[in-house]
Structure 1
């Protein structure tokens, strides 16, 4: 009986070894100033071709239950002018190629020139006509 349970235990250990993930909790993260850029967390995601175990499927990321809660009257007042908070994921090696530190927020001129689809959104330095998917954003 003990001999038969060993392969089962070994397979559980191997399965647990292959599955990995990280969770980042935005609990009590202060609301940033409007039209500001904040890097909150760096983590690694394997591409499907570089993954140690490709049979588990494509790498994925999920955001859920994101909501704003004011903890003070100042926070509530600050949030009144917000239309939203943009959360983006992009490759670390591409960060400074895609984001200019002195112009990272689009304006109406960027929309008119075709560099952005909306004003007041993250502005990335990508070839005209390319999508966010094309630059792994």
Structure 2
């Protein structure tokens, strides 16, 4: 959890240092749209954020199209969720295509809460 806040603090500091990257925006990629909202709010005008998995798409079965992979070629930083097998598969391909891209795991240090699977049974009445 602490690393997530460190990461967000880092983005906030960058956002408050306009001379640091005056000529260009930092291209940030995220896995899903809700994370895009966090990064955009913190980075403001200094970042350009793109998300890999479209809204409504199942993260576990998503496979990026070649056009989306090309869009990731000039990304400076990728914020991954972590702990998702499908994400690791295509993230390896992204890193091979863009070896200068930094990858940050935003879930590092955050304790996961295990949830029971919801099963539909005829006898439950719903």
TM norm structure 2: 0.25
Asked which structure has the greater CA Rg, the reply is 1
Choose between structure 1 and 2 for higher RCO, CA contacts under 8 A separated by at least 6 residues: 2
Q: Greater strand share, 1 or 2? A: 2
TM norm structure 1: 0.24
